[in-house]
Structure 1
């Protein structure tokens, strides 16, 4: 009730009380005091009798003025109410936009949280993979085979070289390199044995010839006994050499020529075997160099691969941590913005509550203006009506006196003209 009385204080007009005349003389006056004629002073006013109709007219004017004021105040209240409604609609729209933004930000937060969880899972998986790889490296470093491989013993090198040779032979143009290599090794061994046999035969041949050349005699030592069948030859090949020593000079000459031819053939075969041995040794050296090169290249590739893997892990983890820090900062900014928006939404809600309160007050004011009799005191209204009627009558008397004076002045002007 106090709140409504405070609101009504600004809407109900306050009227000042008319000054009460204490003397009877002043009560009997029919015209205003300043219009009365005083002795010894020129006459400026006119004494006019006031009728009840004048009082009624004055009262009607005052009532019309009051109604006009009420109407203007009502129009002002209506405009103010319309403005408040417009503000209410604008606040509603702002609230809807804020709710939409809040929902979108919530969705973005959920999506960012899902992405962060996915990244965390990926980091966890990468950490597991790194731990597995480190464990694998540790186990491999503790493996004796790998240690022997790093130390490089001869037997293991030979095995690895043979394996690499087999791989190279399989990937190369030739096929069945392993079998050919075995055959070559067997041939080399046979050639070595044959070379030894030839050396022995040469020694056996050169010793009796030297003796024959020195003493012009013939050694009865059979050459065929020193000759053994060569590998790949038939055992009956040397039986042809088992013949008797010739007794004639022609037979001895033929024998010498046959021995020379035989030594020449043995020499040619020896040269061929030496050439083959040199070729095979060069080929073996070349293959060994290639195997060493491939081995070094494999070790370098393995070291590079391990180092690159380590470098990738070392670089990826800080990058992922930096990305997570940046995402955390962005999330903090988003949370701050959301908190600010929530605070603004609370302020909007406060404004909406204030708007509702003002609307209720406006409704109360409108109701009070439409039904003043229910809320105003009848006695005060009657007193105000009496005062307004008196003011109306006074104003009516003044207006009538002024009109009479104007008419009198207008009547005197033609007489002066004559």
Structure 2
């Protein structure tokens, strides 16, 4: 309790001299949330050799300015565990300063941040020994096809072959020594370390942030954490934040292009509901799902789940990959997606409150994943030149007005 009292007293001083004021009147906040807030995903990568006090890389600044130009009100990005704590109990103060500089720049441009904590692609290598591998296979269904996925320590090449054959996103694989860790059991030691990592984030940034996403697509079958342990991981991250945060909201998202995604959202809410404020989906009709671009019945299901549990709902990722003109995935088709999917979302959001609609992502990132489809979700190319649908996304975002 004394920590929270001290933090609160410090808050009075900090908030009096900062341009950003964290609202504490929950009633007034909800009354202002009449339309969906627009957000865009950016991957910021801590540049090795960057030190506290250095200027931000020019591309980082340009990406933030692009997000503003697109009418995004929020920028969603990861604060990678491996950057913050590359070795157990050894925190990288330069990485901490880098992410603080990113958040401050976002605020200077008139936007706010949503940070993702504990995305599995950002696990440090040293936590591997805190996860217990299991053998065998699991079954998951996508686009009406049942896929058998090996669990345990799986050779990366084997995982990549399966991903390409079955159209599975694998950017967030946790890979150690050439092997992907899939569906492992958590230990109390792992949960304690996850809690301490989240507490460190809150300790450093509590006065700069309100929204935290806990994990990412935990229902994904290639996630390193066993499906039935995900709620424990959610609790650990939440409890870490709670040690230092005063007013904050948590988001948990499921990948809605796998079957039974709704089951897992219910599972998390039944077991960790007090740790979740906003329940969300990631949905990619036309890329990961074979559905038409304007197929958003998943939102109706999400709204029902959110209402039953007294939560808000959000779309934390949607987008379209421009990986090949030859198979209907060029820039012109991305523009068609924008002008079909976003109006469909907006129409549903007019009937039911939707906290966020989030575009994935701002900039192409070739070579960041072994699966080519994942390289080209950006509304800008990797050199920041806009794609054909850039102005369409800007216009569609303006119609949300959040």
- Which of the five TM-score ranges fits, normalised by the shorter chain? under 0.3
Give TM-score scaled by structure 1 length.
0.13
**Bigger radius of gyration, 1 or 2?**
1
The structure carrying a bigger helix percent of its residues is 1
Q: Which has the higher contact order (CA 8 A, sep 6+)?
A: 1
